[in-house]
Amino acid sequence: MVSKTFAIDAATGLIKRAMGSAALTADAYIGTQHDQGAAVITDMLCRVVIEACDVASGNETYHLRIVGSNVSDRSDGTVLAERLLGDAGSIAIETVDTAAGDVVDIRFRTERGNTAYRYIDLHLDVSGTSPSITFGAYITKEIC
């Protein structure tokens, strides 16, 4: 089995959300956009550490998407990877609700359909009766 190593970096746009930030209750881009400097193919990982996740109504979902683009306004945005979190009853493949302490790793490549992307974003799409999620997140580049 191939093992990859990733390193934390404080470059602009890699720290997406600090631990202890306020809860999110609406769709939003998270943190500052990361600019790779050019449209290059890079293996990356987004680590999300859940601090709180409301699933009380039984229908809350939280869709985390890694979005790549070659225009800084995201007008050509393409989903590079995604992860669905929330109430297990609302997610077809999950058997356990998302809870505080969960660590979610989203591995992705800054390329889709033979197109490399320069700008990388994390987007949150929430749904349900009373969605509210608190988390810290960062993106890191593969180093080996």
Q: Is 108 inside any structural domain?
A: yes
Q: Is 1 inside any structural domain?
A: no
Q: How many domains is the chain built from?
A: 1
- CATH label of the domain that carries residue 50: 2.60.120.1110
Alpha-carbon dihedral 25, 29, 34, 35, rounded to 10 degrees: -170
Domain that holds residue 69: 6-142
What pTM does this model have? 0.88
- What is the full DSSP assignment across 13-64? TTEEE-TTPPPB-S-EEEEEEEE-SS----EEEEEEEEEEE--TTS--EEEE
Q: pLDDT tens-digit profile of 86-110? A: 988 888 776 678 889 999 999 999 9
